[in-house]
Amino acid sequence: MRAERAARSRASYVGGMTHPQPAAVPVTSLLTDRYELTMLQAALADGTAHRRCVFEVFTRRLPPGRRYGVVAGTGRLLEALPAFRFTSRELDWLSDEGVVDDATLAFLADYRFTGSVRGYAEGEVFFPQSPLLVVEGTFAEAVLLETLALSILNYDSAVASAASRMTSAAVDRPVLEMGARRAHEEAAVSAARAAVVAGFAATSNLEAGRRYGLDTIGTAAHAFTLLHDDEEAAFAAQVAAQGPGTTLLVDTYDVKRGVELALAAAGTGLGAVRLDSGDLGVLAQEVRAQLDAAGAHDTRIVVTSDLDEYAIAALAAAPVDVYGVGTSVVTGSGAPTCGMVYKLVAREGRDGALAPVEKRSSAKTSVGGRKTAARRRGPDGRAVEEVLVTGPDQAVASWEPEGGELRALHVPLVTGGEVDLSWTGPQGVRRARDRHRASRDELPRGARRLSADEAAVPTVTLRLAGRD
């Protein structure tokens, strides 16, 4: 009976036809919350579903102690958008579960986002109230994207924000991402991508490497040493398999003896030794002296072991060449989300014009109306203000900064439903990484301090003149 009811319902909303999709194409439409579909049903019923609307993604505050955030995940959102479809499988389940009515299912069967999206370029730094993403379309089209947008942007931006603090603390020393074992398997891929956007040099995650063209790293764990009868045999086997340029893990037993055996196995051309326990600063000093005394001046020292931005900063004076970070980066180093929200800020009125709307509840207010943003720079080229541009809708939509003092922050991401593919895939990661490097370099001196403080620059409002 259950199957028969579902079949009859399918026929009523798609004319008896199914809409299969190849299994290889991921469908993202159910990566959402139920209330988005139930709102759609009510709006379709009362005729408001096709009102033109503007939604905005922003965060009201930065995590305690953070001086800036980093936008990440934009490329992943753009990759997910074309796959936001309702095939027969999704429609069958929604019907069977009674989530929405047949009229809503019929709408979903043909759903395509045909609106526009503008926002901060991926890799850009941001501050409280920054309008990070502006989504425009009908209510029916745009409201369904809330959870997809927020789940991607909140997590990826949290990872990138933490990663940026780590690469900043490391200065010119490479930082490697190796947190896959501390995250959900798909989150691990997203985290690796976000970390590289914020300046990490490589990842241990092979799927992230394959999917986004990232450099991958990894040689051996303690298990490989323990597998063998002794360290000497383990190192000899690893060098035979990977060559003398490999990285040997020297702290399974005694570090000093481990370094001796590593040099005996690979010679002074040994690529690196890794330290994964103990007082890393002291050990790095001792190991560097031991390597140099043996003539292995080019052998690098890699340190791992639950590092975060504070531990990296504490090792600044130690002879460390490379840092490996796992748990802290994939969990946002204490701030696993950015608190981003997706709010309706303007909707079409009875006269056909867009009217601002805003939420006024205590502690969760929003500012109505379409907004864009710019960053004001001082004579030295460093940022001094985050500028929110507000005013009449058309004036804001067409605004461009004049002169070199203000740098516009919004870029087109989706136009008429067409995704700008230059922000996706491996080229999107490279583009985002370059943007982050330039954006962070633009921050005022002191913005990279790890000590708790206010946002690196204040947020101000520029209201344009004109008729509302």
First-to-last CA distance in the chain? 56
Structure confidence at residue 276 (pLDDT): 97
The tokens for 69 are: 């955030």
Query: Which residue intervals of 24-87 are DSSP H helices?
Result: 34-46, 74-80
**What is the Cα–Cα distance from 10 to 299, expressed in whole angstroms?**
66
**Position of tokens 């035979």?**
240
Q: What residue ranges do the domains of the chain occupy?
A: 2-160+335-367+406-438, 219-320
Torsion sign across C-alpha atoms 113, 136, 61, 386:
positive
Contact (Cβ atoms closer than 8 angstroms) between residue 421 and residue 61: no
Q: What are phi and psi of 65, to 5 degrees?
A: 90, -15
Q: What are phi and psi of 196, to 5 degrees?
A: -70, -35
In this prediction, residues 314-326 reach a mean pLDDT of: 98
Structure confidence at residue 107 (pLDDT): 98
The tokens for 209 are: 């490497």
Structure confidence at residue 467 (pLDDT): 63
The tokens for 340 are: 């981003």
Contact (Cβ atoms closer than 8 angstroms) between residue 104 and residue 144: no
In this prediction, residues 325-334 reach a mean pLDDT of: 97
More reliable by pLDDT, 367 or 203: 203
If one counts every other C-beta atom within 10 angstroms of the C-beta of residue 168, the result is: 20
Residues 21-60 as b/e (b if ≥16 CB within 10 A, e otherwise) read beeeeebbbbebeeeebebbbebbeeeebebbbbbbbbbe
pLDDT digits (tens, 9 = 90+) for 55-80: 999 999 999 989 999 999 999 999 99
pLDDT of 52 over the 50 cut: yes
pLDDT of 128 over the 50 cut: yes
3-state SS, residue 341: strand
Residue-averaged pLDDT of the chain: 93
More reliable by pLDDT, 8 or 364: 364
Contact (Cβ atoms closer than 8 angstroms) between residue 374 and residue 406: yes
pLDDT digits (tens, 9 = 90+) for 160-186: 999 999 999 999 999 999 999 999 999
**What is the Cα–Cα distance from 265 to 284, expressed in whole angstroms?**
20
**What is the Cα–Cα distance from 214 to 202, expressed in whole angstroms?**
6
Structure confidence at residue 402 (pLDDT): 85
**Position of tokens 């009515």?**
101
**Domain 2-160+335-367+406-438 and domain 219-320 have a common topology:** no
* pLDDT grade for 308, boundaries at 50, 70 and 90: very high
Domain 2-160+335-367+406-438 has CATH 3.20.140.10: yes
pLDDT of 21 over the 80 cut: no
**What is the Cα–Cα distance from 239 to 234, expressed in whole angstroms?**
9
**What is the Cα–Cα distance from 243 to 259, expressed in whole angstroms?**
17
| DSSP conformation letters of 80-132 | HGGG----HHHHHHHHHHT-S-HHHHHHHHT----SEEEEEPTT-EE-TT---
The tokens for 334 are: 């204490």
Q: Which residues contact 149 (CB under 8 A, 6 or more apart)?
A: 57, 77, 133, 135, 342
Among 137, 140, 108, which residue's Cα sits nearest to residue 418?
137
The tokens for 303 are: 């340190």
Structure confidence at residue 17 (pLDDT): 32
In this prediction, residues 319-338 reach a mean pLDDT of: 97
3-state SS, residue 289: helix
- If phi > 0 it is left, if psi is from -120 to 50 it is alpha, else beta; for residue 263 that is alpha
The tokens for 424 are: 């996706």
The tokens for 390 are: 């507000």
pLDDT digits (tens, 9 = 90+) for 386-404: 999 999 999 999 999 988 8
Among 345, 465, 442, 430, which residue's Cα sits nearest to residue 127?
442
The tokens for 244 are: 């003398």
Structure confidence at residue 335 (pLDDT): 96
State the architecture of 219-320 in CATH terms: Alpha-Beta Barrel (3.20)
Give Cα 180 to chain centroid, integer Å.
15
* pLDDT grade for 468, boundaries at 50, 70 and 90: low
**What is the Cα–Cα distance from 171 to 312, expressed in whole angstroms?**
10
In this prediction, residues 256-271 reach a mean pLDDT of: 98
H or E element, residue 136 = strand 133-138
Among 453, 426, 448, 463, which residue's Cα sits nearest to residue 209?
426
